[in-house]
Structure 1
Amino acid sequence: MLYTPIKFRNVEVKNRWVMSPMCMYSCENGMANDFHYVHYGSRSQGGTGLIIVEATGVERRGRITNHCMGIWNDEQAEKLQKIVEFVHKNSDSKIGIQIAHAGRKGSTWNNLQIPVEEGWETVAPSPIPYHPTERIPHVLTIEEIKEQVQNFKEAARRAVKAGFDVIEIHGAHGYLVHQFLSPLSNIRTDEYGGSFENRIRFLLEIVDAVNEELNENVALFVRISGTEYAENGWDIESSVELAKILKNHSVDLVDVSSGGNIHGVKIPLFDGYQVPLSSQVRNEAEVKTGAVGLIKKVEHAEEILQKGDADLIFIAREILRNPYIAVQGSFEMKEECFFPHQYLRAKISS
């Protein structure tokens, strides 16, 4: 199954390998540069079915660090368009972008909050910092929440114009959308807090606004944290219910990760540790899902698909170590996969 195509709207992904979005902390003023051109381009030469560009801030305050990527202006989008054009011209990979807002987890470096003079005032649904030593974030007003929805919409418009095949909304890892979802970080008493229906409202408004910018040639994914590993927090049952609703809002795939919202929780780590979350969301909500988290081997990836635990395999650290895991896996499994014509002399060892 790893080398079986799959379609989302009119977007056909040639195989089930996905380069998971990973921050590179290498931008100035949110701008992609030569490093990103080589970084993403090399994965397309390795046969990866879908490449997703790192978390990209929908506004300046939406970044995690001063060196994270942005798409809040047209100049940033034009830099990204050059990467998209290379991938499309020189491979059969599809390319997506993860649009994001860090919320209270922004204005940091090396996982420590930097002074506001060097960074910015963070924002959140409630006056609760991620770590007790950090500044209390500015609580978004209803008008400001609407502005953030518009920021996501405009980011999606720029991404579509740049030629991306997939837009992924980052709703995981304790960033702004996740902060609204969780009853531990969202203690609002208005229409954006309290009940499950109110806490998911921000995400659904973003999804609907982004969909207004999309067509059948651009698919929509949402990344969520299947659980935040904290008592009375966001959990897998909530994720299943959310996924059912997202499906009805024209979301094509739910990318199931975990954690990130509550400081100091213990996460049980083992190869494929988040696969059960993907499986439960996929099978109970009847939606397509992506599995991510310490998936390192071709055989393991194939097993996940065969068992019906996911539809796509998101690879993070392993694809940093080996940009050619997809094409090398095709050699092992005797399957067809994109291979650069310039390299054909190396396809079959003599």
Structure 2
Amino acid sequence: MAHLFSKYTIKNLELKNRLVMAPMCLFCAPETGTVTDFHIMHYAARALGGTGLITVEATAVSREGRISANDLGIWSDDYIPGLKKIADAVHEYGSKIALQIGHAGRKSRVHGTRVCGIELKAPSPIAFDEESAVPKEMTKRDIKDTVEEFRLAAARADKAGFDMIQIHAAHGYLLSEFLSPLTNKRSDEYGGNPENRVRILGEVLDAVKSVWNDKPIEVRVSADDYAQGGNTAEDVALMLNIVKHKGIDSVNVSTGGTVNVTPNTFPGYQIPHAKVIREHTGLPAAAGGLIVSAKAANDVIAADGIEQVYVGRELLRNPYFALNAAKELKADIEIPRQYMRAFV
């Protein structure tokens, strides 16, 4: 059975299949952070290719929160029209679309400690590596302002027509930095025990939910820091349990990125972590990791019991991965009429 092509509902959002395009930074926006024609074509092509849910790359909630100077931005209403073009194009070709909103924290590569009035900020003044600047420790005012930036970003995403919001709390970026004891050495209510380290994520969830019009909210997490003293999947599950009542509808499970350690990767290497998160929280999960074949993608759903499988690099190589997978798995799906002759 082609489990990959069974319908799936997250909250009130029905998806035609369980294949998700993972958020992947393209680093091709102009320094203004605006959408280009390439972005529209890039995401629309994956919708035309049959992917059920497409997640737009990390989109910065503030200028200082960009990973690079060429990230998409959503810190102003000026970005709504361009982002709406992406959402409209994806909808036109039958897919649903999520927007990942985030803040890079200490891993921003836009600047040093201060350029043009922009400061590098993090939970604690700890540099990512020897070549990185030491960030400023965020004040409580900074934290409050950042939570508000996430709220405003979600409101803009709603106006742009996105179906789901994904809060980026993975890969060692700002919210992930608060979650990990390796990067959060605070002694106030935002540091120390798991309840304190997850506090800002809870506040962001409250803020996003207040403007998100009852649509699904997903959180992306790094379920393993791959370093002694760092988070494990069980630790992350514990923190998610503290805040899941605030509106988490799905967890997108990744790993790594918190500290400068290269994980041992192999096809499906994120799956065991997702199973732990799912078992310990009861929350639906999306997982992947170097998934490149129809069988591997189908097995994530059929054999591992994960609700959704995300595919990244393979969808860069092959925008029509879903159509080819459906043919291989003998799934009966709607083929764009223009391409029908290739799939009979």
TM-score range, shorter chain: over 0.9
User: Separation in 1 of the partners of 2:35 and 2:316?
Assistant: 18
Deviations 1:204-244 (A, max 9, x none): 1001110111223x211000000111111111111121232
Change (3 A) 1:43 1:131: same
Q: Is the 8 A contact 1:258 1:274 kept in 2?
A: yes
Structural mapping, 1:33-182, within 5 Å: 33-89=36-92, 91-108=93-110, 116-117=114-115, 120-182=118-180
User: Separation in 1 of the partners of 2:189 and 2:271?
Assistant: 33
Do residues 195 (structure 1) and 198 (structure 2) align?
no
1:254 matched to which residue of 2?
A: 251
1:119: Cα distance to partner?
9.4
1:80 is paired with a residue whose SS is: helix
1:167 is paired with a residue whose SS is: strand
1:293: Cα distance to partner?
1.0
The amino acid of 1:224's aligned partner reads V
Deviations 1:276-325 (A, max 9, x none): 00111112221100112111111011111112441111100011001111
Q: Structure 1: where are the runs of 5+ without partners?
A: none
The amino acid of 1:86's aligned partner reads A
- Runs of 4 or more above 3 Å deviation: 113-120
Deviations 1:110-162 (A, max 9, x none): xxx66844894211011101113322111111011000000000000000110
Which of 319, 329, 337 matches 1:333?
A: 329
The amino acid of 2:267's aligned partner reads D
Which of 207, 226, 231 matches 2:228?
A: 231
User: Separation in 1 of the partners of 2:323 and 2:26?
Assistant: 24
Q: Is the 8 A contact 1:58 1:70 kept in 2?
A: yes
Q: Is the 8 A contact 1:276 1:309 kept in 2?
A: no
Which of 297, 309, 312 matches 2:308?
A: 312
Identity of aligned residues (%): 43
Deviates more, 1:158-167 or 1:133-142: 133-142
Q: Is the 8 A contact 2:195 2:239 kept in 1?
A: no
Q: How many residues align?
A: 341
1:343 matched to which residue of 2?
A: 339
1:246: Cα distance to partner?
4.0
Change (3 A) 1:225 1:254: same
Q: Is the 8 A contact 2:113 2:119 kept in 1?
A: no
User: Separation in 2 of the partners of 1:336 and 1:119?
Assistant: 56
Q: Is the 8 A contact 2:45 2:319 kept in 1?
A: yes
- What TM-score, normalized by structure 1, do the two folds share? 0.94
1:13 matched to which residue of 2?
A: 15
2:211 is paired with a residue whose SS is: coil
1:30 matched to which residue of 2?
A: 33
User: Separation in 1 of the partners of 2:146 and 2:331?
Assistant: 44
User: Separation in 2 of the partners of 1:115 and 1:201?
Assistant: 26
User: Separation in 1 of the partners of 2:202 and 2:10?
Assistant: 19
1:65 is paired with a residue whose SS is: coil
The amino acid of 1:141's aligned partner reads T
Structural mapping, 1:285-304, within 5 Å: 285-304=281-300
2:272 matched to which residue of 1?
A: 276
User: Separation in 1 of the partners of 2:334 and 2:82?
Assistant: 25
RMSD over equivalenced CA pairs, Å: 1.5
The amino acid of 1:32's aligned partner reads V
Q: Is the 8 A contact 1:50 1:94 kept in 2?
A: yes
The amino acid of 2:300's aligned partner reads I
Q: Is the 8 A contact 2:190 2:200 kept in 1?
A: yes
The amino acid of 1:314's aligned partner reads Y
Deviates more, 1:288-297 or 1:131-140: 131-140
Q: Is the 8 A contact 2:113 2:120 kept in 1?
A: no
User: Separation in 1 of the partners of 2:104 and 2:271?
Assistant: 25
Q: Is the 8 A contact 1:107 1:120 kept in 2?
A: no
Deviates more, 1:304-313 or 1:184-193: 304-313
Q: Structure 2: where are the runs of 5+ without partners?
A: none
User: Separation in 2 of the partners of 1:119 and 1:322?
Assistant: 42
Deviations 1:248-290 (A, max 9, x none): 2221100000000111x24111111111001111122211001
Deviations 1:24-50 (A, max 9, x none): 001111101001011001000000000
Change (3 A) 1:46 1:122: same
The amino acid of 1:106's aligned partner reads S
User: Separation in 2 of the partners of 1:86 and 1:94?
Assistant: 10
Deviations 1:16-72 (A, max 9, x none): 100000000011111010010110010000000000000000000110110011111
The amino acid of 2:220's aligned partner reads R
The amino acid of 1:180's aligned partner reads F
